[in-house]
Amino acid sequence: MVESRARLFEAVLTFLEERAAPAGLTLVIEDLHWADASTRDLLVFLLRNLGSAPVHLLISVRTDDLHRTHPLRGLLPELERLPGVRRLDLEPLSKDEVGAQATALSGRELDPADLDLLFERSGGNPLFVESFLATGHDPAGAPLPEGLRDLLLSAVEPLPEPTRRVLGLVATAGPGSGTHSSPA
């Protein structure tokens, strides 16, 4: 098992190095905080072994989602000590930045009251801003969903009943109960 895992990690490293030559390669890994132990191990292996290969890894982690015992709590400081690893903390968007994003996405400026509501409900998270606007929110008409739960449910409501039932079962099963986990 250990030998096959080592071969797999080496194969991934070789694949990335070959694809990176000569112009370079950027690999984006989002939401590392949801990754399983094997994915984290692969990432550590790559960071320690890529050397001078022109491969850039851009990895997002929501540190506010890391509980006290989360495995990344100890791993992130270790990774930050590696040569070539840089950490960049991104703060939530300000209300002005949320307004600029909303204007860019909708093609018009939001009413100040709508902007206040969008900023409050999105928490300055650009993905949530975009998702709230994608619900078809009309600044002059329908209200924004009350919160993230309503926002997420609005995407599920148009699905057929059997699909909604399966999603409900998966949601109640929770992590580690045989459901598919995000590969990172």
On whether residue 13 sits in a domain, the answer given is: yes
Q: What is the pLDDT of residue 129?
A: 87
Mean of the per-residue pLDDT values of the chain: 82
What average pLDDT does this structure show over 67-78?
Answer: 88
On whether residue 85 sits in a domain, the answer given is: no
Structure tokens at 12: 């991934």
Residue 29: strand pairing partners: 59
Determine the Cα–Cα distance for residues 56 and 8; give it in Å rounded to an integer.
Answer: 20
Domain of 11? 2-80
- Residue 176 Rama label (left phi>0; alpha psi -120 to 50; beta): left
On whether residue 161 sits in a domain, the answer given is: no
Question: Count of domains in the chain?
Answer: 2
Domain end marker among 80, 109, 125: 80
Q: What is the pLDDT of residue 79?
A: 87
Structure tokens at 182: 């995000």
pLDDT in tens, 76-130: 888 888 888 888 888 889 999 999 999 999 899 999 998 998 898 888 988 888 8
Residue 102 burial (C-beta neighbours within 10 Å; 0-12, 13-18, 19+): buried
pLDDT in tens, 109-122: 999 998 998 898 88
C-alpha closest to that of 103 among 124, 131, 133: 133
Q: What is the pLDDT of residue 62?
A: 80
Q: What is the pLDDT of residue 133?
A: 84
**Other Cβ atoms closer than 10 A to 132:** 24
pTM of structure: 0.59
Domain end marker among 80, 105, 120: 80
On whether residue 109 sits in a domain, the answer given is: yes
On whether residue 68 sits in a domain, the answer given is: yes
